[in-house]
Structure 1
Amino acid sequence: MTTETGEQDVIDLLIGQHQQIKALLAEVKSSAGEQRKEAFAELVRLLAVHESAEEQIVHPAARDDAGDDVVDARLREEDDAKTLLNELYEMGLDAPRFETRFAALETAVLTHAEQEEQTEFPALRKGTTAGRLRLMAGAVRVAEAIAPTRPHPQAGTHPLNNLIMGPPVAIFDKVREAVGDWRRSHDA
């Protein structure tokens, strides 16, 4: 947070989300039944919108400050994580390989967050004004509002792909979730 206005900047916002993601990873590992299902659904949603917003807003801005190699490495990590997350989403929590693949996702996500926090974010903070970092936080919130709520690795990691494909895919995801919620409520 900036001390002048109390407004959150983009780096603080993303680090806060990293903490939420870590907590959800732990909850999925330690819970069972409906609680585990809900924690996994929230993890899928948060990772999908978080990565989409980073790809649209943060990584392009960080290229000048952190360099292409750093940003390209983060994009590869995100692409790998999206593929794993999609695999887990498709197989379901009861699949025999879920635990093994979830452990791989956890390692990938935690390593990725650590790399962002140690390399990309400090460079971005150093090379970007406080006012721009606050504006970027608002842009990330907007990008997350229209982002898909589940992984779509076939969309890639390019910001233009996210801008063009993100809103229609997000609508599809939200309709799919609403239909699933409706079915569950009527089956109970």
Structure 2
Amino acid sequence: MGTCLLTHSTRLEEIMSSPESLLRVLRRQHAHIASLVFGVTISSGQERKNAVADLLHYVALHESAEQTFMHPVGLKSVGDLAAVQGRVVEEREIEAVITHLESLDADSMDFMIYFGLLEEALNGHARAEEDLEAHTISEAVPDEQMQSIASGLELVDVWMDPATHSIVGSVAQMPWPRGDRNGVRFGEMHRKSLAAFGAVSRHR
């Protein structure tokens, strides 16, 4: 990979020099996920398929960033491990619901029933991360480490092109074409996102 870890190095430097707090980043990204969920519920046909793809792309990156930069710190640092372990279990449950959703017709009643379960799971997971995990970690680690976690999570937004909701330059060359939002399964996006964030983590 050489010395060029990101094609958006200027944006990365801005993040590292002026980091947001962890809770602020979480709230902003969770709010964006909520807006993407809403976009699915008000659409239909091809528009809904595109909205679902947008949501799953973002969730794959967001959860992968948390699993790389936030959860490991919590598991090593906090006394209340349940505050972190519970979030890991929730993410596995979310991934299972998504896997089932991907097998359904997006305009079917079954899809909307399971999508309602996904929306409920995402909302509960977001609240628990903000109210329990982030608070518990903040009491256990120094501010500098909290800022490092926050800057890691902000890479989610560095790698998303807001004009197309496609993945842009990264250290790991995300595997799905920019124009093909519907052809890549969540599991693959998640695995490749974890690899990309892992590469960044090793070079920090």
TM-score by length of 1: 0.70
Q: For residues 52 and 181 of structure 1, do their structure 2 counterparts lie closer, same or farther at Cα, with a shift above 3 Å needed? A: closer
Task: Give the equivalent residue in structure 2 for 1:112.
Answer: 125
- Deviation sequence 1:118-158 (CA, Å, 0-9, x none): 11111122223332222222323457878xx9xxxxxxxxx
8 Å contact 2:53–2:182 — kept in the other structure?
no
Task: Give the equivalent residue in structure 2 for 1:33.
Answer: 45
Q: May I ask how many residue pairs the two structures share in their alignment?
A: 156
Task: Give the equivalent residue in structure 1 for 2:84.
Answer: 71
Task: Give the equivalent residue in structure 1 for 2:115.
Answer: 102
Shift of 1:45: 0.8
Shift of 1:73: 1.1
8 Å contact 1:11–1:125 — kept in the other structure?
no
% identity of equivalent residues: 24
Task: Give the equivalent residue in structure 2 for 1:23.
Answer: 35
Structure 2 CA distance for aligned equivalents of residues 35 and 71 of structure 1: 36
Gaps in structure 2 of 5+ consecutive residues: 1-16, 160-164, 166-170, 184-204
Structure 2 CA distance for aligned equivalents of residues 97 and 32 of structure 1: 14
Structure 1 CA distance for aligned equivalents of residues 79 and 69 of structure 2: 14
Q: 1:130 aligned to 143, 147, 151, which one?
A: 143
Shift of 1:16: 0.8
Gaps in structure 1 of 5+ consecutive residues: 150-166, 183-188
8 Å contact 1:28–1:36 — kept in the other structure?
yes
Structure 2 CA distance for aligned equivalents of residues 66 and 29 of structure 1: 39
Aligned partner letter, 1:78: E
- Deviation sequence 1:151-175 (CA, Å, 0-9, x none): xxxxxxxxxxxxxxxx97x744x14
Computed over aligned residues only, the root mean square deviation of the Cα atoms, in angstroms, reads 2.9
Q: For residues 46 and 105 of structure 1, do their structure 2 counterparts lie closer, same or farther at Cα, with a shift above 3 Å needed? A: same
Aligned partner letter, 1:88: L
TM-score by length of 2: 0.65
Structure 2 CA distance for aligned equivalents of residues 123 and 18 of structure 1: 18
Structure 1 CA distance for aligned equivalents of residues 78 and 180 of structure 2: 44
| Higher normalized helix content (fraction of residues) | 1
Matched, 1:84 2:97: yes
Q: Following TM superposition, where does structure 1 have runs of at least 4 consecutive aligned residues deviating by more than 6 angstroms?
A: 143-146
Shift of 1:83: 1.0
Structure 2 CA distance for aligned equivalents of residues 44 and 178 of structure 1: 15
- Deviation sequence 1:105-124 (CA, Å, 0-9, x none): 11111111111111111112
